[in-house]
Amino acid sequence: MSNRFEGARVVVTGAAAGFGAAIARDFAAEGARVMVTDIDEAAAEAVAAGLNSALSFGLDVTDEARTAEMAQAVVDAWGGIDVVVCNAGLPHRAAPMIELDTDDFDRMWTINVRSIFLAAKYCVPHMPPGSSIVSVASIGGRRPRPGLTAYNASKGAVITLTKGLAGELAPGIRVNCVNPVSAPTGFDKNAVGLDKLPDEVEAAVVAGIPMGRRARPDDVAGAVLFLASDDASFLTGVGLDVDGGRSIG
């Protein structure tokens, strides 16, 4: 590993497991100081305990006051914020949209979209020029599939929010997102109620991905770190598809 992020002050939401934990670990491995946040405070603390120069914070990303407290905690600890990774997100249970419970619809949009607004609102004032925001959207935001229409629409909103915010914050702060294909993480549990997809369902999903597999946490972490790094210093408003080619056809 290089030290691209030596001394950088990084916030990662939804970092107790899956993509978020991989992102937090990779930043730490490249020299960053990482604030590991998650609604599961104990799990966030466990991830942080395994990293160098890391702190943890129990964060419900829909809670405005708590988000403000989190940003201030980073500033109090390290004097500012250099990278914010808005990873926290949640799908609804797979079903036709008109069968979706309205409360579930509203909750999902609050977690997937409002959380990014809140993170930006309270972190940006503490981010110096050269800082970066990276959100985790979904390839479903570009190429939706039946059964997760509302979720895909929320991730489409993340992509649009990324582009709009990039224009507002340029040239001082870059704003990008990654668009992963599905992965065998907690997404499966929330979308279909199973820890692991049945073999025939897994095979059908993989059949639509030219690279022959679903995403892994390290795939997404690598893309996030690239967008946050100086290697991507001229990229803003970008939605980077981390989808093994699913969006090709």
Q: 216-243 pLDDT, tens per residue?
A: 999 999 999 999 999 999 999 999 999 9
In a domain, 162, yes or no: yes
Q: Are strands 83-86 and 173-180 parallel, antiparallel or unpaired?
A: unpaired
Please tell me which residue in 21, 151, 158, 197 is annotated as part of the active site: 151
pTM: 0.94
In a domain, 249, yes or no: no
pLDDT number for residue 183: 83
Q: Which domain holds residue 192?
A: 9-240
Residue type, 186: G
Q: Over the chain, what is the mean pLDDT? A: 93
pLDDT at 105 over 70: yes
What's the pLDDT band for 188 if we cut at 50, 70, 90? low
pLDDT number for residue 123: 98
In a domain, 223, yes or no: yes
CA–CA gap between residue 55 and residue 73 (Å, rounded): 10
In a domain, 206, yes or no: yes
pLDDT number for residue 233: 98
What's the pLDDT band for 92 if we cut at 50, 70, 90? confident
What's the pLDDT band for 194 if we cut at 50, 70, 90? low
What's the pLDDT band for 193 if we cut at 50, 70, 90? low
Average pLDDT over residues 107-112: 94
In a domain, 94, yes or no: yes
Q: Percent of the chain, pLDDT > 90?
A: 82
pLDDT at 187 over 80: no
The reply to whether 151 belongs to the active site is: yes
CA–CA gap between residue 247 and residue 249 (Å, rounded): 6
Q: State the DSSP code for 79.
A: S
Rounded (10°) CA dihedral 99, 135, 84, 220: 110
**φ and ψ at residue 137, rounded to 5 degrees:** -95, -130
Average pLDDT over residues 151-158: 96
Contact yes or no for 59/40 (Cβ under 8 A)? no
In a domain, 248, yes or no: no
CATH of the domain at 140: 3.40.50.720
In a domain, 98, yes or no: yes
In a domain, 3, yes or no: no
pLDDT number for residue 205: 80
pLDDT at 185 over 80: no
Average pLDDT over residues 153-174: 98
- Candidate from 42-56, 82-96, 186-200 with smallest mean pLDDT: 186-200
Domain count, the chain: 1
